[in-house]
Amino acid sequence: GEARVPLEVFAAKNPDEEIRRTSSSGGVFTALAETVLNEGGVVFGARWNEHWEVVHDYTETCEGLAAFRGSKYVQSVVGDTFKQAERFLKGGRKVLYSGTPCQIAALKRFLDKDYEHLLTVDCICHGTPSPGVFRWYMGEQLAKVIGKDGYRFVPCPIPLIPQVDVLAREEGCRIEGIRFRDKKEGWKNFSFAFDLTVGISSTQAKAVSFSYPLRKSSFLSGFLSNLYLRPSCYACPAKNGKSAADITLGDYWGIASLMPQLDDDRGISAVLVGTPKGRVALEATAVELYPVPYEDVRGKNSALTNSCAVPIGRSVFWTADSKSFHQKIKDICRVSFAQRVKRKFRAVLRMSGVKR
């Protein structure tokens, strides 16, 4: 499709605090999905499967939406869901399909026809990390927290790494949950977190949780440094409205400079309305909407319009050597002493009001 300027743009949040807490930004996805379900519709989204892989699936209940909530920073497998959605649409059911811009563009190509009762929701998308790299990271992380040495291998080409549930069993534990956007330390300083049951083969099985805030998580650092996005993400043909989604959702990073009263650090969404159908769907929800200029979102969230550049570190990351995942990230993302001094200096200036 063509690049597009949205019809309307909002800062928004779901008035239900529990839904907002368990969502990545303002919980707008759940509000849209609930209205579709209440009208007898079906909702498609990304969830974990039993092997801790991210897959697309559908639900017909509000309880089923919990699995879709929260961004999973791994490319999801759409599997048969385009066909399933088509079957529901042909049967006259309302369908909400949510995914990354490229998934929405692909769904539209697959359907090859406009359905009045299809609502598409995509996201402002940074790009999606490789599932193989996520398995590598999880395997090493589990070995580390359970107390063994992280295992090492040559990541280029990525050999067949066992599924995450298998890796966990090898360490005598079971994964109970994985969250990329845990808000325990706040929306802005989000954490990568996971819950385990350890000692599953003994009589003293117990629950333990781990969480790593943004700057301390090697997986999030490598993701945000663009080291292992899918190759296609560096030249994305679907962002900037080209997916033709009815609604685009994102994090309203920087809301504090526009509407400080909204910034409670519990998550505010940026909502871009792409079509009249999207506007009707949004108005049917109980979401609190605050109109904002499009330029504000575009200026604060470059992922809306631009693909990431390929960083120098990407080829370093994918070069075969015997380093662990953790060590690679540490070496590539290490901030130099000079950079640290510069940052500290800027922070002091900002605090003293010299610089805004």
- Interface residue list for ligand FAD (CB under 6 A): 23-30, 45-46, 54, 68-74, 76, 98-100, 123-126, 128, 249-251, 269, 301, 303
Residue among 126 and 135 whose Cβ is closer to ligand FAD: 126
Shortest separation between residue 169's beta carbon and ligand FAD, angstroms: 24
- One-letter amino acid of 26: G
Tokens of 346: 């800027």
Shortest separation between residue 205's beta carbon and ligand FAD, angstroms: 30
Shortest separation between residue 171's beta carbon and ligand FAD, angstroms: 25
Q: In this structure, are residues 290 and 262 in contact, taking their beta carbons and an 8 Å threshold?
A: yes
Shortest separation between residue 121's beta carbon and ligand FAD, angstroms: 6
Maximum C-alpha span of the chain = 63
Residue among 136 and 252 whose Cβ is closer to ligand FAD: 252
Say which residue the tokens 């969480």 belong to: 211
- Angle among Cα 108, 99, 90 to the nearest 5 degrees reads 45
Closest C-alpha among 148, 141, 150, 198 to residue 174 = 198
Residue among 248 and 324 whose Cβ is closer to ligand FAD: 248
Residue among 99 and 139 whose Cβ is closer to ligand FAD: 99
DSSP 171: T
Tokens of 22: 């368990």
Shortest separation between residue 188's beta carbon and ligand FAD, angstroms: 12
Report the DSSP beta bridge partners of residue 194. 178, 210
Shortest separation between residue 274's beta carbon and ligand FAD, angstroms: 15
Closest C-alpha among 276, 274, 235, 273 to residue 102 = 235
Shortest separation between residue 219's beta carbon and ligand FAD, angstroms: 13
Residue among 20 and 328 whose Cβ is closer to ligand FAD: 20
Residue among 136 and 223 whose Cβ is closer to ligand FAD: 223
Residue among 66 and 146 whose Cβ is closer to ligand FAD: 66
Tokens of 207: 């629950």
Query: Residues 6 or more apart from 278 whose CB is under 8 A from it?
Result: 7, 119, 245, 246, 247
356 vs 126: CA distance, rounded Å: 27
Report the DSSP beta bridge partners of residue 129. 229
